[in-house]
Amino acid sequence: MSGVMALGRLEIVRSLRNRRVMFFTILYPAMLFLLSASSVKGKNVPGTDIPYVDYFLVAYASFGVIAASLNNNAMRISQERKEGWIRQLRLTALPSYGYVVSKIAASLLVVIPAIVVTFLLGTTQGVKLSGEEWVSAFLVIWLGSLAFTALGIAIGYGVPQDAVQPATLIIYVAGSFLGGQFFAVSGTLETIGKALPTYWVREIATQVISGQPISWGGVAILAAWVVGCAILAAVMYQKRAED
Amino acid sequence: MSNERLVGDPEVPAVSFEQVSKHYGPVQAVRELSLQLPQGRAIAFLGPNGAGKSTSMEILLGLKHASSGRVEVFGKPPRQAMTAGHVGAMLQSGGLPADVTVRELLTLMTKLHPKPLRVDEVLLRANIADLADRRAGKLSGGQTQRVRFAIAIAGDSDLIVLDEPTTGMDVENRHIFWNSMKDEAERGKTVLFATHYLEEADQIADQVVVINKGRLLANGSVSDIKAMAGFQRIAFRLPGVTREQLLNLPHVVSLDVLHDHVQIQTSDSDKTFYALLDQGLRPMEIEISALGLEQAFVAITERDNGDAVETTETEDAR
């Protein structure tokens, strides 16, 4: 287990050192949040009494989380497969699950600043929540990141190496668009969005900060994504075992 | 603690292949390879490109499964030997993460083995103390190879497997590297290395294993291999000599006559040479020498390829 921890620690150091990861995880969502928040001051999401600032707080915190967990894992795993780093790790006493476990553990830590920074900025933009609401929103987004981490691992192992970057970017942008990370979706967009983890992470987090009942159906869909992607990742991992 | 006893027991081979085959679809990479490598030696693994060297190494490291046959490392299945810390390895494509320092990398590696060396000791043994704080992505090709060697020895493992370790190194670096390898062998480690540089095998190896087309071709000391190839070489100058005059000499394997210069490969240089003198010939500038390992290697793999071609033709004819 100490080996898995050592690898996880190094994974975290590497992510924090990577300027591209930090940009897409923290800086970019924070900038978009500030821009969006300042343009909707005092307005509510149409048809609701949820302040648009609150909506964007959750939307952009989850947007950063998606970048940290989906993009970071998919691209790094694909790269490390290509370079032979994964093979090198298999020439140690590290258990076979160690690499993936360390990626998951590192992701759970790396997404934290993405959430916290946006939340801190939120307090400067007039978001007023109870302590319990802050914590609940944090937990929803944080645990929801597992779906994107698992998807990232599945893509990293399963998609041909030269297609990983475009595939990831398409999923990242389209998923965020349909999930309502950029603006509140309605109509057909929302119908499609309701099948996606991007939508439900944001939606459930919005529900917990606006005193609405939680959609347990959404929780189930989100959980199904976590489990489904985890199984997919495990299958892909097995398939690539002799690469 | 039976593991300790096994490794401690010098009778248990470091590596044992029994009738091991590996095929990828119709391509047969390794064919019924049987091989036992004793502990505590430096063993060179030779073979032309595509001979099955890398595949055999990947099987013994547990990266690939044999299609049939049995592989044991210190009496255990490969993966188990790996997790017990018996094996350290450096592959041809052991890419290093570019964004970590050499020290961070080696610190990690020592934590991924059950009974590692200290990081400073690894740096020293691999001759890379000066690279400790460099990012892996900033290293030259030769430096990267040395860092990868450091990774292979970080676990203080009993068997060190190196696949083409000196590829991309200049001559000076290669010599430094050879010394590190020799030091490990002198510490009682079993060092198994695949190489293209026959000089490397000649200088370092106690034992040479030659494989060709997935089969074992030869396994012995460097001098065994040279003897197996045949043959010594007799060269001399003899004005006016003709090929016909020399054809009936005993033990001759091949004969080259070019103007006055003659080269003979023979399986018994003494008898060939005496017969030459008995014919009343008086050659000049006589040289009698053993084949180098390189020539020996070429001779036995070529002979093997020749045999195989004949076999294939026979099969086609049927």
Question: Global pTM?
Answer: 0.81
Q: Where are the domains of chain A?
A: 2-239
Which residue from B292, B83, B275 is spatially nearest to B202, judged by alpha carbons?
A: B292
Task: Kindly state the DSSP code that residue B188 receives in the 8-state scheme.
Answer: T
**Which B residues 65-94 touch A at CB under 8 Å?**
65, 82-85, 87-89, 91, 93-94
pLDDT-based confidence at residue B313 (cuts at 50, 70, 90): very low
> B48 at the A interface (CB within 8 A)?
no
β-pair partners for B284: B237
Round the average pLDDT of chain A to a whole number and report it.
91
Q: Which helix (H) or strand (E) holds B28?
A: strand B27-37
What pLDDT does B315 receive? Answer: 36
Alpha-carbon torsion (B233, B234, B237, B240), positive or negative: negative
Q: Give the nearest partner residue to B111 out of A3, A80, A82, using CB atoms.
A: A3
pLDDT-based confidence at residue B8 (cuts at 50, 70, 90): low
Q: Which residues of B touch A2 (CB under 8 A)?
A: 111
Interchain proximity A88–B91, CB inside 8 Å: yes
Classify each residue of A167-176 as buried b or exposed e, where b means 16 or more C-beta atoms within 10 Å of its C-beta: bbeebbeebb
User: Residue B318 pLDDT more than 70?
Assistant: no
d(CA B157, CA B147): 16
Interchain proximity B95–A17, CB inside 8 Å: no
Q: Which residues of A touch B109 (CB under 8 A)?
A: 92
Per-residue pLDDT tens digits for A144-203: 999 999 999 999 998 999 999 999 999 999 999 999 999 999 999 999 999 999 999 999
Which residue from A159, A163, A141 is spatially nearest to A151, judged by alpha carbons?
A: A159
User: Residue B317 pLDDT more than 60?
Assistant: no
Q: Per-residue pLDDT averaged across B251-271, rounded?
A: 87
pLDDT-based confidence at residue B204 (cuts at 50, 70, 90): confident
Interchain proximity B100–A10, CB inside 8 Å: yes
User: Residue A30 pLDDT more than 80?
Assistant: yes
Ranges of H-type helices in chain B: 2-8, 53-60, 78-83, 102-111, 119-125, 141-153, 171-186, 198-204, 222-229, 243-246, 269-278, 293-317
A67 touches A28 (CB < 8 A): yes
Alpha-carbon torsion (B174, B178, B180, B184), positive or negative: positive
d(CA B244, CA B236): 16
Classify each residue of A207-242 as buried b or exposed e, where b means 16 or more C-beta atoms within 10 Å of its C-beta: bbbbeeeeeeebeebbbebbeebbebbbebbeeeee
Per-residue pLDDT tens digits for B62-89: 999 999 999 999 999 999 999 999 999 9
Q: Where are the domains of chain B?
A: 2-226, 231-290
> B243 at the A interface (CB within 8 A)?
no
> Above pLDDT 70, what percent of chain B?
92
Instruction: Identify which of A31-35, B46-50, B209-213, B289-293 has the greatest average pLDDT.
Output: A31-35
d(CA B94, CA A88): 5
Interchain proximity A93–B94, CB inside 8 Å: no
Q: Which residues of B touch A88 (CB under 8 A)?
A: 91, 94-96, 151
Q: Per-residue pLDDT averaged across A86-111, rounded?
A: 90
Let me know if B309 is exposed, middle or buried by CB neighbors in 10 A (0-12, 13-18, 19+): exposed
Classify each residue of B35-57 as buried b or exposed e, where b means 16 or more C-beta atoms within 10 Å of its C-beta: bebebebbbbbbbbeebbbbbbb
User: Residue B4 pLDDT more than 70?
Assistant: no
d(CA A195, CA A218): 9
Residue A36: phi and psi, rounded to 5, are -65, -45
Which residue from A183, A101, A115, A179 is spatially nearest to A145, judged by alpha carbons?
A: A115
Which residue from B103, B219, B204 is spatially nearest to B151, judged by alpha carbons?
A: B103
**For the residues of B209-248, what is the DSSP string, one character each?**
EEEETTEEEEEE-HHHHHHHH--EEEEEE-TT--HHHHTT
Interchain proximity A91–B104, CB inside 8 Å: no
User: Residue B312 pLDDT more than 60?
Assistant: no
Q: Which residues of A touch B (CB under 8 A)?
A: 2-3, 6-7, 10, 13-14, 17-18, 80, 82-85, 87-95, 242
Q: Per-residue pLDDT averaged across B195-208, rounded?
A: 84
d(CA B47, CA B50): 8
- Residue of A91, A99, A242 to mutate, testing the B interface (most B Cβ within 10 Å of its Cβ): A91
Q: Per-residue pLDDT averaged across A81-110, rounded?
A: 90
CATH class label, B2-226: alpha beta
What pLDDT does B309 receive? Answer: 41
What pLDDT does B268 receive? Answer: 84
Interchain proximity A93–B99, CB inside 8 Å: no
What pLDDT does A2 receive? Answer: 83
A32 touches A114 (CB < 8 A): no
Per-residue pLDDT tens digits for A210-242: 989 999 999 999 999 999 988 988 888 777 766
What pLDDT does B296 receive? Answer: 76
Q: Which CATH architecture has domain B231-290?
A: 2-Layer Sandwich (3.30)
B274 touches B212 (CB < 8 A): no
Residue with tokens 């603006």: A183
Interchain proximity A84–B83, CB inside 8 Å: no
Q: Give the nearest partner residue to B108 out of A10, A18, A83, using CB atoms.
A: A10
The minimum CA-CA distance between A83 and chain B, rounded to whole Å, is 4
User: Residue B196 pLDDT more than 60?
Assistant: yes
Per-residue pLDDT tens digits for B166-176: 887 888 888 88
Interchain proximity A13–B88, CB inside 8 Å: no
The minimum CA-CA distance between A91 and chain B, rounded to whole Å, is 6
**For the residues of B132-179, what is the DSSP string, one character each?**
TTSBGGG--HHHHHHHHHHHHHTT--SEEEEESTTTT--HHHHHHHHH
What pLDDT does B197 receive? Answer: 77
Comparison of pLDDT for A139 and B164, the residue scoring more:
A139
Provide the CB-side half-sphere exposure for B153 (13 A, CA). Answer: 30
Angle between helices A164-178 and A197-209 (to 10 degrees): 40
- Residue of A79, A81, A88 to mutate, testing the B interface (most B Cβ within 10 Å of its Cβ): A88
Interchain proximity B94–A88, CB inside 8 Å: yes
Q: Give the nearest partner residue to B111 out of A2, A80, A91, using CB atoms.
A: A2
Round the average pLDDT of chain B to a whole number and report it.
86
The minimum CA-CA distance between A213 and chain B, rounded to whole Å, is 45
Beta-carbon neighbour count of residue B307 at 10 Å? 10
User: Residue B316 pLDDT more than 60?
Assistant: no
Q: Which residue of B has its CA nearest to A15?
A: B99
Beta-carbon neighbour count of residue B99 at 10 Å? 15
Range scoring the smallest mean pLDDT among A27-31, A203-207, B49-53: B49-53
**Which B residues 91-150 touch A at CB under 8 Å?**
91, 93-97, 99-100, 104, 107-109, 111-114
Interchain proximity B94–A85, CB inside 8 Å: yes
